[in-house]
Copies of this chain bind each other. A is one copy, B any other.
């Protein structure tokens, strides 16, 4: 296959992450053509030029519309603020490009639906940046589940906690405005749901609760303003496969930095994973009673594609490496290979689940995801 031409819109943290992935994917995997980093779009020509140089792109532009129709571009990485995703993704798909868009899809469900329709109409690859699912340890979990190593899973708990909203005296900013969404639910909930999706498929029904740890926050100019979003959200769930579970989210959890804690209980064992120790997995399987216990599995070359990064066990991948794996999956999908990704269809299902969780929290009743 010929080398892919890449266009990147946005060069903040996630843009840098995409750029590093496009730069590294051939060297890391050794089985794909080195992509051509064709065009980078930013909000001003100056910024575009400077970032293109740093990130290794050949050309720069302040006009993202020219990027999505550029003949040198085969695939468009979209890493702009969420509100811009629908317009850009739809334009790129309509221009016949593949799209790699950061999550979540959009700020409104209707926009996400339009994106799905555009993807269907285009026949192009349209996927979302749910990189947690690319961790070799998550892949190991999926393999262990498929092999029945812990039997049929009957109960699932996922917690996601960080502390960037934990300080009650931090200034009011947009994440506390209702226009930004529900709060922890859409900010975090999609990650938990992406893991559930690849491990077990969809959520059937939900019963949620949301709360505000702090009722108001100081304003920069003095005075305080009421907080409109919910930094804490807890939801009881039933999966389509019949298992029960819960999802607990808190973005004001002091001391938690990137905790994404997963507990899977099955008829023959239990799996525990914590993203803060992303190179480890805890596995308990029924066995000899005298020496039974959770074993701590360290990421190693026999957990692909860890082997593509490091030939020795226990040395550790980093968060940014997950994006390189995602990039390799995307290239594979474009090539027509089987690939593990959250595409726009899957992503829309996740966003409908978030929507059901929020409606349930407001109504105080169980809601079918539908």
Contact = CB atoms under 8 A, between A and B. Distances in A.
B255 A294 contact: yes
A292 B284 contact: no
Interface in A194-222: 207-209, 211, 213-214
A189 interface: no
Nearest to A157: B248
A172 interface: no
Interface string A294-315: 1111101011000001111111
A283 B291 contact: yes
Interface string A17-35: 0011001101110100010
A176 interface: no
Contacts of A268: 254
Contacts of A164: 312
Interface residues of A, number: 98
A229 interface: no
Contacts of A255: 269-270, 284, 292-294
A353 interface: no
A82 interface: no
Closest 10 CB pairs of A and B: A257-B314, A318-B318, A255-B284, A258-B314, A295-B295, A154-B213, A211-B244, A293-B295, A315-B319, A293-B297
16 contacts: A19-B27, A27-B54, A150-B254, A166-B267, A209-B244, A214-B267, A234-B236, A253-B265, A254-B286, A255-B294, A257-B298, A276-B316, A277-B277, A293-B298, A317-B319, A318-B318
